[in-house]
């Protein structure tokens, strides 16, 4: 006799539903992902929403309006 505990089964049998007898896969365990996080673009990497205005070509009057709209009052 050994004092070593018996190994646990690695793949548990799949649970069956009682009503129809269908086999359901066991829930997956969460896994660790060791990908490089810097190789993917995050939402912070873009400048979307920072002073962008829809439209085509801008003229000097539109540039002045944009400047006055975006500049805080204490910078005027």
Backbone angles phi, psi at 44, to 5 degrees: -80, -15
Helix then strand then coil, % of the chain, to nearest 5: 25, 5, 70
* pLDDT at residue number 30: 87
Per-residue pLDDT of the chain (76 residues; tens, 9 = 90+): 557 766 666 655 555 555 666 788 888 888 888 888 888 877 777 666 666 655 556 578 888 888 888 877 676 6
The overall pTM is greater than 0.85: no
């Amino acid at each position: 006799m050994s004092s070593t505990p018996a190994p646990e089964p690695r793949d548990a049998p799949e649970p069956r539903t009682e009503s129809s007898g269908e086999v359901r896969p066991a829930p997956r365990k969460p896994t660790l992902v060791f990908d490089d996080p810097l190789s993917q673009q995050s939402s912070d990497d873009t400048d979307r929403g920072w002073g962008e205005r829809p439209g085509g070509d801008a003229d000097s009057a539109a540039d002045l309006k944009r400047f006055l709209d975006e500049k805080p009052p204490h910078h005027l």
